[in-house]
Amino acid sequence: MLLPPAAIFFCFAYIPIYGIIIAFKDFKPALGIFGSQWTGFANFLQYFNSYMFINTIRNTLTISIYTILVTFPLPIVIALMCNQMAAKRFKRFFQVSTYLPHFISTVVMAGMIILFLSPSSGIIPKLLGYAGIEMGNIMGKAGAFSSIYAWTEVWQHVGWDSIMYIAALSAVAPELYEAAEIDGASKWQRTLYIDLPMLTTTAVVLFILRSGTIMSVGFEKVYLLQNSLNMSTSETISTYVYKMGLRSNQYSLSAAISLFNNVINFIILLLVNYAAGKLSDTSLF
């Protein structure tokens, strides 16, 4: 039963891995991967010595960790809320509403964010204005970038991400709830002692997997929300490499930086996995 996936994976995921050597060469398409000149770690050193190295890594990690911290617990909360709703119709409506924003494409989402936050024509400054809060041009404030990024990620994906947890909760036998009710447990206690533990294993596994993406902040959304005023906190590794690549075809440099990112991701995954194994008995292997 494992054979088909293993075979497909071998063909299309393992065979191409030889391409990693592009990171160690001065790749020219005319010479091909094997014909290009070997340069060892020169590409990596070029990146480490570049002026923006520290900045891009700092920005990438800030945005990434902030986003993980904020987008991780909230889908669980949504799933728990959903599970405790007795009103079937509203529960359905609630579920569907929360996952709808997931379908909006990044390009349109970024355009909407800029529009909604515009001090002259956006709805959010208008609403805050009624409450007496002056927002100013928040898209132009470098310090606000990671918050804008993280909270709009929540807005867009929290409902969709909660589906997994809702599915996990469906495996709880209803007798458990009824028994708890008889014993006098309140809804709050039922949520805490029945629902939450049910989700722990799933949550831990998802967290381990998520921490393995720590260096990979999505390129498109950052690039669309970036501008000259917030550049100091919004220039991530991927946008920086993209700009370098616009001028000349820096295949080798991008390959080197990708490899660097992937190695860090993998190490973090292994560390988190180990920690999770020790703390909660759940781990990937």
Partner 1 sequence: MKRTKKVRKSRNDRIFDAVLYTFAGLITLGALYPMYFILIASISDPTQVSAGNIVLYPIGFSLKGYTHLASYSQVWVGYLNTVLYVIAGTFICLAVNIPAAYVLSRQDLVGRKLLVVYFLIPMFFSGGLIPTYITVKNFGLLDSFWVMVVPFSVITYFIIVARTFFKTTLPQELWESAQLDGCGNTRYFIQFVLPLSKAIIAVIALWSAVGIWNSYFNALIYLQSPQLYPLQLVMRNILINNQVVSDMSTGSAAAEAKKAASLIKYCAIVVSSLPIMSMYPFVQKYFNQGVMIGALKG
Partner 2 sequence: MKKYLTLLLALALAFTAIIPAFALAEDIPTFRIAIVRWTDSWGTDFAETALLKQLQEEAGVNIEWDVYYYGDWAETKSLLLASGNLPDAFFGAITLSDTDISQNQDFFVDLTDLIPQYMPNLTAIFEADPSMKALVTNRDGKIYSLPKKLPLRPLTAFEPYINTVWLDALGLPMPQTYLELEATLEAFVTQDPNGNGIADEVGFPASGTAVNDINQLMIPFGTQASREGNFMGLNNDGQPYFVPTADNYKAGVEWVHGLYEKGLLSEERFTQTSDMVTAITEADGGSLAGLFYAWTADAGAGVNADQFEVMPVVSGPDGNRYVESDPTYLNYSRNEFEVTTACQDVGKLLAFADLFYTDLASLQTYYGSIGDGKISDNGDGTYTVLVPSDGTSLDTSCWTFSFRDHGPKYMNAEFESSIILPEDQGDGIKLRDDAVNNMYGRDNFPVCSYTEEQLSRLAVLSTDIKNYVEQMYAHWVVDGGIDEEWDAYVSQLNAMGLTEYISIYEDAYQFYLGQ
Question: Within positions 144 to 183, which residues make up the interface with partner 1, using CB under 8 A?
Answer: 155, 159, 163-164, 166-174, 178, 181-182
Binding to partner 1 (CB under 8 A) within 232-271 occurs at: 251, 255, 258-259, 262, 265-266, 269
Nearer to partner 1, 55 or 112 (CB): 112
| Closest CB 218 distance from partner 2, rounded Å | 17
Helix (H) or strand (E) holding 25: strand 25-26
Nearer to partner 2, 51 or 285 (CB): 51
Among 26, 28, 33, 231, binds partner 1 (CB under 8 A): 33
Phi, psi of 134, deg, nearest 5: -90, 120
Q: Which two tokens stand for residue 16?
A: 């191409």
Q: Which two tokens stand for residue 118?
A: 């515009």
| Closest CB 11 distance from partner 1, rounded Å | 7
Helix (H) or strand (E) holding 38: strand 37-38
Taking CB under 8 A as the binding criterion, the range among 79-87, 132-140, 172-180, 209-217 that sits at the site for partner 2 is 132-140
Task: Yes or no: say if 67 and 150 are a contact pair by the CB < 8 Å rule.
Answer: yes
Rg (alpha carbons) of the chain, rounded to whole number: 23
What number of residues does the chain have?
285
15 binds, among partner 2, partner 1, none (CB under 5 to 8 A by kind): partner 1
280 binds, among partner 2, partner 1, none (CB under 5 to 8 A by kind): none
Task: Yes or no: say if 255 and 23 are a contact pair by the CB < 8 Å rule.
Answer: yes
Binding to partner 2 (CB under 8 A) within 222-281 occurs at: 227-229, 231-232, 235, 240, 243-251
Q: List the Cα angle 247/250/251 in 5-degree steps.
A: 145
Distance CA 265, CA 76 (A): 24
Binding to partner 1 (CB under 8 A) within 43-102 occurs at: 78, 81, 84-87, 90, 92-101
Place of tokens 């997997």: 209
Distance CA 161, CA 139 (A): 27
Binding to partner 1 (CB under 8 A) within 192-231 occurs at: 201-202, 205-206, 209, 212
Q: Provide CB contacts within 8 A for 254, sequence distance 6+.
A: 241, 245
| Closest CB 114 distance from partner 2, rounded Å | 5
> How big is the site for partner 2, counted in residues (CB under 8 A)?
35
Residues that bind partner 2 (CB under 8 A): 28-32, 46, 50-52, 111, 114-115, 118-121, 137, 139-140, 227-229, 231-232, 235, 240, 243-251
